[in-house]
């Protein structure tokens, strides 16, 4: 039994979760609180990776970060970085498809925060950063946690976009889903089945755990 794909999957999902948190929380907060022209277009774009076939997401990413892609050329010429077919690309693919889940959960959580708590905090001399950290974020915390779990589980299971831009390099980009696909292709049914069992157990455990926790919160 080769554990490398399992460890690699956890690492890649963990890193992509970090990115999704850093980017998703501020964007979700702004989208929940600000109105601007073209907001519904931005909203649709942010949710798009949720409904688009991952292969299409992967194809777009390939176009962007490939050697001749818009971002790929820039990265290579300026910094000598080549993202395509690296674990970095796998992180990017996982982060892209997981982003909408984090974003949607966090936005719903921010929308459900009682604005009067923030207003009271303003009359209690708190600045906006203190209010966000001590009032808004803790009040939205359960929703953000469910976003974290959904995004992590989604990142763990990512296949289509990963296959397009990261490929199947054992030890570098061969995550569990990729390993399952190629094991099944080459008729190693026991190996594929074992990986499938592992990923099913992990994702089930995560979702069950968070549901249980959320129930205790209310």
Partner 1 sequence: MLDVAIKKQLPEFLLRVEFKFNNGILVLFGPSGCGKTTLLRCIAGLTSPDWGQISHDNRVLFSSELKVNLKPQQRRIGLMFQDYALFKHMDVEHNILYGAPKGSSLVAKTYPKILELFQLSPLLKRTPGQLSGGEQQRVALARALMAEPKMLLLDEPLSALDGGIRRQLQDELIAVQQIWRIPIVVVTHDWQEAQKLARQIIFMEQGKIKIA
Angle, alpha carbons 158-24-119 (nearest 5°): 150
Query: Can residue 122 be called a binding residue for partner 1 (CB under 8 A)?
Result: yes
> How distant, in Å, are the alpha carbons of 20, 175, 207 from that of 12?
12, 8, 19
Residue with tokens 């549901």: 211
| Nearer to partner 1 among residue 44 and residue 112 (C-beta) | 112
| Nearer to partner 1 among residue 39 and residue 115 (C-beta) | 115
Query: Can residue 213 be called a binding residue for partner 1 (CB under 8 A)?
Result: no
Query: Can residue 138 be called a binding residue for partner 1 (CB under 8 A)?
Result: yes
> How distant, in Å, are the alpha carbons of 20, 94, 144 from that of 34?
20, 28, 19
Q: Which helix (H) or strand (E) holds 25?
A: helix 4-33
String of contacts with partner 1 for each residue 98-117, x by CB under 8 A = ----------------x-xx
| Nearer to partner 1 among residue 123 and residue 187 (C-beta) | 123
Contact between residue 23 and residue 38 where contact means Cβ atoms under 8 Å apart: no
| Nearer to partner 1 among residue 44 and residue 134 (C-beta) | 134
List 39, 112, 119, 197, residue binding partner 1 (CB under 8 A): 119
| Contact residues for partner 1, defined by CB under 8 A | 114, 116-117, 119-127, 134-135, 138-139, 141
């Amino acid at each position: 039994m080769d554990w490398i794909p399992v460890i690699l999957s956890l690492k890649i999902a963990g890193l992509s979760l970090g990115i999704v948190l850093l980017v998703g929380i501020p964007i979700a907060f702004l989208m929940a609180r600000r109105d601007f022209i073209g907001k519904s277009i931005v909203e649709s774009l942010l949710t798009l990776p949720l409904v688009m076939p991952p292969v299409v997401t992967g194809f777009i990413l390939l176009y962007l970060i490939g050697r001749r892609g818009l971002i790929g050329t820039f990265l290579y010429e300026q910094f000598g970085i080549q993202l395509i077919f690296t674990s970095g690309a796998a992180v990017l693919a996982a982060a892209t498809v997981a982003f909408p889940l984090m974003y949607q959960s966090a936005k719903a959580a921010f929308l459900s925060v009682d604005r009067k708590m923030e207003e009271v905090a303003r009359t209690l001399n708190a600045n906006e950063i203190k209010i966000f950290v001590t009032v808004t974020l803790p009040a939205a915390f359960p929703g953000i946690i469910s976003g974290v779990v959904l995004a992590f589980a989604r990142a763990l299971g990512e296949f289509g976009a990963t296959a397009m831009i990261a490929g199947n390099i054992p030890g570098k980009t061969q995550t569990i889903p990729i390993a399952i696909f190629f094991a099944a292709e080459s008729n190693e049914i026991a190996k594929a089945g074992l990986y499938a069992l592992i990923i099913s157990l992990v994702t089930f455990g995560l979702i069950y755990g968070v549901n249980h926790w959320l129930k205790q919160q209310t």
